[in-house]
Amino acid sequence: MNDLFIFFYSYREAIFIIALSVFLGIEVISNVPSVLHTPLMSGANAISGVIIIGGIILVGNTDVTRFSLELVLGILAVFFGTLNVVGGFAVTDRMLEMFKKKK
């Protein structure tokens, strides 16, 4: 039980952010026309590539002077994260571009 209290107290700011972000996420999405569901899902998917920051930090903290499994996996994490971010935003833009073409 004490562990839980310690966990909550140490991370109280993050937990506040989480609680409020949940409401924010729900609010923002609730009134979306179904036309935009696919681009929205794709855009949200790109934002979830924010894990790339974690990848950068991970490799940044790893010793790169010697070859290790950790380094290889870390670089893979950065690569995958980049794919998610760049591919995600690019594809969302491609979808939305078509909505603009009105004659």
Partner 1 sequence: MDQTLQTLSGVSFTTGDAILEFSYLLSAIFFVVGLKLLSHPRTARKGNFYAAAAMVLAMITTLFLHRNPAGETIGWMSMLIIIITIVMGSVVGLIISKRVKMTAMPELVSFFNATGGAASALVGLLEFGNPENESLLVTLLGLIIGSIAFSGSLIAYGKLAGKIGNINAQLMKWVNILVLAALVGATVYVLLQPMPQEYAWLVYLLFAASVIYGIMFVLPIGGADMPVVISLLNSLTGIAAAMAGFIYNNLAMILGGIFVGAAGSILTVLMTKAMNRSLLNVIIGGFGAKAGAAAGEEGGSIKEMSMSDAAVLLSYSKSVVVVPGYGLAVAQAQHTIHELEKVLQEKGVQVRYGIHPVAGRMPGHMNVLLAEADVSYEKLVEMDEINKDMPNTDVVIVVGANDVVNPAANETPGSPIYGMPVINATQAKNVIVMKRGMGKGYAGIENPLFYKDNTRMLFGNAKDTLAKLTNEINSL
**Smallest gap from residue 9 Cβ to partner 1 (A):** 13
Minimum distance from CB of 75 to partner 1 (Å)? 5
Residue closer to partner 1 (CB basis): 5 or 23: 23
CA 59 to chain CA mean position, Å: 18
In the complex, least distance from residue 71 CB atom to partner 1, rounded to whole angstroms: 8
Query: Tokens 């794709």 — which residue?
Result: 42
What is the C-alpha end-to-end distance of the chain, expressed in Å? 64
- CB of 5 or CB of 33, closer to partner 1: 33
Task: Tell me the C-alpha distance between 96 and 77, whole Å.
Answer: 28
